[in-house]
Amino acid sequence: MNLLPNEAIDSIEGLSGIHAGYRRAHARGVCYRATFHPSGEAASMTTAAHLQGGQLDAIVRFSGSSTDPALADLLSPAKGMAVQFQIPGGKTTCLVGVTVPVFFARTPESFLDLVRAVHKARAGHLSMLDIFKEVAEHFSESKESLLAVKRLLPPASYATNRYYAIHAYYLAGPDGSTRPVKFEWLPDAGLETLSLKEAASKPTEYLEQEMQERLLRGPASFSLSIILGEDEDPTNDSTQAWPDHRERIHAGRLDIHEAIKEPSGLVMDPTSVVPGVELSDDPILLFRRAAYNESYRRRSIGT
Ligand code: HEM
């Protein structure tokens, strides 16, 4: 079966209905003006313009993962951090990360099966916990991702999470070499979470408010880590993490300065790579461009 982006977006819309004008996933979010300062440490491995030297402008969008823009921050456990690097000359490239290291589906088709299983479980009025159990039982590939979500505690801030771009990419170097890599953002402020009780006493949109206060004191910063894959690390399976001890390179620092209105036409497309970065053979990664464009098409016409 070859899944069409339309079918994927229809199925996502079935989770919490249509919220006109919003993204079909990660519906509520806030955009920020940022600057990226590449360390130059990756320059021998990639010709990518944003990983050389100098300073670039960037847009960051933090989000909750829910399809429902009204859902309280506490109730959508995984958070997103999407970064659009603005390369001099007008090109852009994106890295889109979440707070869990693996995805719950290996292929677009199993993504659809899973979303449909959740529809069914909801129609049968199963509790969230039972939906988790049901999915874990029937979709063994989703187990790691579900466990990772279950382990998540509410973040103290959008600026105190580690964000994983999940998919493998390839870096193409000036000498013609290519190597598989993954990307992660590590917060300079360290990892900080809240207990469920603490988070329950916070306002619905506490993460946005916390960022507003934090940024008055100075930029919120993240380090970009590039993880170097070995021959045995899968590049086509988002449900499998690479071993923790793989070599890492500090590729640069991102400083987030202030909240901004979302620029019109913004689509954080994880396949929008520039020369020096290549897409892997991960079918989920390759499907995302069409799905995100379909979501953008719908939200931009106000449906
Ligand atoms: C088949 C797999 C997937 C589908 C169908 C899907 C679908 C979507 C859709 C429709 C949007 C809204 C796009 C827009 O209107 O601009 C979105 C946003 C997002 N997705 Fe996915 N997604 C998938 C996989 C993933 C994965 C693997 C990650 C983890 C890195 C991820 C993280 C995000 C984030 C962080 C956003 C918010 C981007 C922003 O702030 O603009 N998604 N996704």
Kindly report the CATH number assigned to the domain that includes residue 216: 2.40.180.10
> pLDDT at position 1, please?
59
Look at the alpha carbons of 93, 242, 5, 99 in this order and tell me if their dihedral is positive or negative. negative
Q: What is the pLDDT of residues 203-241, one digit of tens each?
A: 999 999 999 999 999 999 999 999 999 999 999 999 999
What residue owns the CA closest to ligand 1's atom 13? 292
Specify the ligand 1 atom closest to the Cα of 298: 15
Ligand 1 pocket mutation pick from 19, 22, 26 by most atoms within 8 angstroms of CB: 26
Atom of ligand 1 at shortest range from CA of 81: 35
Mutate-to-test residue for ligand 1 from 11, 18, 23, 94, highest number of ligand atoms within 8 A of CB: 23
Q: What is the pLDDT of residue 180?
A: 98
CA distance 228 to 216: 36
Average pLDDT across the chain, whole number? 95
Instruction: Give the range of the structural domain holding residue 206, as residue numbers without chain letter.
Output: 5-300
Q: Report the Cα–Cα distance between both ends of the chain, in Å, rounded.
A: 28
Ligand 1 mutation pick, 268, 282, 303, max ligand atoms within 8 A of CB: 268
Gap from CA of 161 to ligand 1 centroid (Å): 18
Q: Which atom of ligand 1 is nearest to the CA of 164?
A: 30
**Interatomic CA distance for residues 191 and 254, integer angstroms:** 16
Report the separation in Å between the CA atom of 211 and the middle of ligand 1, taken as the mean of its atom positions: 22
Q: CA–CA separation, 11 vs 50, rounded Å?
A: 36
Q: What is the DSSP letter of 77?
A: -
* Sequence-ordered list of residues with C-beta below 8 angstroms from that of 203, at least 6 positions apart, any chain: 209
Please tell me the predicted confidence (pLDDT) of residue 131: 79
Total count of domains within the chain: 1
Grouping H, G, I as helix, E, B as strand and the rest as coil, residue 223 is strand
- Residue in 59, 74, 76 with CA at minimum distance from that of residue 25: 76
Low-confidence ranges of the chain (pLDDT < 70): 1
Percent of the chain with pLDDT over 70: 100
Q: Which residues line ligand 1 (CB under 6 A)?
A: 8-9, 23-26, 29, 61, 63, 80, 82, 96-98, 103, 108, 111, 165-166, 238, 267-268, 284, 287-288, 291-292, 295-296, 299
Q: Please check whether residue 9 is in contact with residue 27, taking contact to mean a CB–CB distance below 8 angstroms.
A: no
Q: The tokens of 164 are what?
A: 């994983």
pLDDT value, residue 138: 79
pLDDT of residue 137: 78
